[in-house]
Structure 1
């Protein structure tokens, strides 16, 4: 990890720089407190400074909100409404720019993850859950710390999954199953009672592996390339009483051997993830989708099935050709046994203020039932 430096009381200070999204350490760091106005803070950030917050904790949160409002004041000119691909790229650039501005407000964590700020909460447990045992003073962005605290609340409270009839507990950096349509498809798909073994590829929280266990599959292997997801999935399997039914392994997509059923819900958009959490959304070079299809035949038993669960948002946005998946499956020696489809029910699907509302309204999620030729 790199370090950052700043001057405080005419003395040079340094600390470890930590960024979950891989952002480089800022070059120019100055201190800031409650005397700094939002307008002045915004100008300093736009001029290239990063601000190490030393004021009241709650005032720092309010400053973040004020910076966000200023970042939204003069958005770049939007492309034509009908060009959904261009709108998507515009929105990604806008969000990246906004995140860069908000990510210039920093906060220092002590050697035990303590916050030396007025009205600061105790964040030690949340930080240890996200980062591991404390070992040194570090500086993070204020937005990252808020994300760590929010994720810890989810990890403590859990997320209710109606199709499972239980809660799962997402860890920091693991995609939460708040979009329930893909879970419902797996719950509704016809399942041969003779199926004895299953692989859940890219398991995340382990929710699909747990669902297969509740449907009676006696032996399941869940995989992921994210070490945090592996820990999270194992924890959820044990919480739900499936510790002996579900074996969690990685980091790899496919485990050794063959299974009667192979389930995969890959990230639904081509793109480069910038954090562990974004690995649940963006599939760089569509590598996970391609590997799933290419290697499925060699991991299925003779009459085994593969279930690919995927949204068509990428096709709607023009990020993937409409015939890409059928061609990929055909080239991989697979044929489609059947399909189940559903419409999204998450809040953004009905948010008319979303620049991509037209695309989200048209989106469908499909479970492709596949068999080797």
Structure 2
């Protein structure tokens, strides 16, 4: 099939955005799907199995999208070939890369490279019909996965176009959702799995779950046998479920994102915990007081480049600041706030330990104790990773915080020794 150059999109389309291209001497259009919210490519060519990987790479680097009309499996192989070309470091850059650079600069360069990599890989596109079917040879049925991620249906009769990379992410998320993630702290199988949804952070890093599963619970209020808890920004609902497993009688789990709300509610129902856990839509705190308030905010105070990054990046650390600002007024007498935070931001020069401790004191909080855990994820031991210098030193901590005692002589919050 010859390559057909699409007509440039001259005017920004109204919501939802649309992609236009020229095919068989006709102007075609379809809804444009982008989780990052990026604009549709302005230049599109039709591509099939005759396209070489080198040509595809040159088109993608130049910002020209490739709308695939060949075999689906060949498209996947082509995407992998483009990725290999992106990841090949030219010899002239290897020497430069061998020279040590400040870790903050390395982090910024890493993010820039990852963003450019995502843009380039996102230039290989596939078309979906109104029922989320892909009309390509050997294409899998992705309709269920797409419906889970984007909703049950599109505008009647409307086709859409999405990058193959994003579509593969949707189908991968569907498998995570179908199979679930085994959580040892939830007890024995089969009732120990959390099923993450597309766009919701999967609980694959177990150190923060282990911290919540082992930290000393605050004492129950006088006359009560158990405590109530808030789980702020619950995500999949995993920490709320762990708290119930530990004997917490009632948990109010809050979440703002619609996808995460649905995910948490489904997981609570799967685990049969709807009598103990209430999942409510709220920006941080629900009304009332609790003896334990848990929060695992995004760890890095930087701007997310897509909704999928919001679990890791939070511009200016707004969620962390909001949690600390409101914690004291929502704690019941004798209660504790558990802040789960990696020190990666400190290692990357984005926040200092003194800044964190000062924020505790500013909001009338004191450190009861701190429990640390070393991450076990593969990148911590990957010496080729651009951020290995920081990842090798990373520690995830659970800070047990309480309201400062009304002692006029008391100084600012101090860092207690780790448990």
Distance 1:244 1:354, change over 3 A: same
Match of 1:7 in 2: 22
Match of 2:326 in 1: 295
TM-score normalized by the length of structure 1: 0.97
Runs of 5+ consecutive residues of structure 2 not aligned to the other structure = 1-15, 221-225, 405-419
**Distance (whole Å) between structure 2 residues aligned to residue 69 and residue 97 of structure 1:** 14
1:146-187 deviation line (CA, Å, top 9, x unaligned):
000000000000001112221100000000011000000001
Aligned residues of 1:111 and 1:134 also touching (Cα < 8 A): yes
The number of residues matched between the two structures is 373
Matched, 1:247 2:278: yes
**Distance (whole Å) between structure 2 residues aligned to residue 258 and residue 79 of structure 1:** 54
**Distance (whole Å) between structure 2 residues aligned to residue 286 and residue 160 of structure 1:** 30
Match of 1:189 in 2: 215
Match of 2:38 in 1: 23
Aligned residues of 1:81 and 1:87 also touching (Cα < 8 A): no
Aligned residues of 1:114 and 1:122 also touching (Cα < 8 A): yes
1:19-72 deviation line (CA, Å, top 9, x unaligned):
111111111122111111111111222222111111100100111111111112
Match of 1:112 in 2: 131
Matched, 1:350 2:372: no
Match of 2:76 in 1: 61
**Distance (whole Å) between structure 2 residues aligned to residue 286 and residue 78 of structure 1:** 30
Match of 1:266 in 2: 297
**Distance (whole Å) between structure 2 residues aligned to residue 48 and residue 351 of structure 1:** 31
Match of 2:397 in 1: 366
Match of 1:168 in 2: 194
Aligned residues of 2:253 and 2:277 also touching (Cα < 8 A): yes
Aligned residues of 1:79 and 1:90 also touching (Cα < 8 A): no
**Distance (whole Å) between structure 2 residues aligned to residue 200 and residue 126 of structure 1:** 29
Q: Classify the secondary structure of the residue corresponding to 1:152.
A: helix
Q: CA deviation at 1:353?
A: 1.8
Q: CA deviation at 1:3?
A: 0.4
Runs of 5+ consecutive residues of structure 1 not aligned to the other structure = none
Aligned residues of 1:78 and 1:87 also touching (Cα < 8 A): no
Q: Classify the secondary structure of the residue corresponding to 1:19.
A: coil
The root-mean-square deviation of aligned C-alpha atoms, in Å, is: 1.3
Instruction: Show the 5 A alignment for 1:208-219.
Output: 208-219=239-250
**Distance (whole Å) between structure 2 residues aligned to residue 367 and residue 252 of structure 1:** 22
Aligned residues of 2:218 and 2:292 also touching (Cα < 8 A): no
Aligned residues of 1:53 and 1:106 also touching (Cα < 8 A): yes
Matched, 1:312 2:343: yes
Matched, 1:137 2:156: no
Match of 1:227 in 2: 258
Q: Classify the secondary structure of the residue corresponding to 2:73.
A: helix
Q: Rg: which structure is higher?
A: 2
Distance 1:154 1:61, change over 3 A: same
Aligned residues of 2:35 and 2:306 also touching (Cα < 8 A): yes
Matched, 1:155 2:177: yes
**Distance (whole Å) between structure 2 residues aligned to residue 307 and residue 88 of structure 1:** 28
Q: CA deviation at 1:349?
A: 1.2
**Which residue of 359, 363, 384 corresponds with 1:328?**
359
Match of 2:50 in 1: 35
**Distance (whole Å) between structure 2 residues aligned to residue 128 and residue 19 of structure 1:** 15
Q: CA deviation at 1:78?
A: 3.5
Aligned residues of 1:80 and 1:87 also touching (Cα < 8 A): no
Distance 1:61 1:175, change over 3 A: same
Q: Classify the secondary structure of the residue corresponding to 1:371.
A: strand
Q: Classify the secondary structure of the residue corresponding to 1:262.
A: strand
Q: CA deviation at 1:253?
A: 1.2
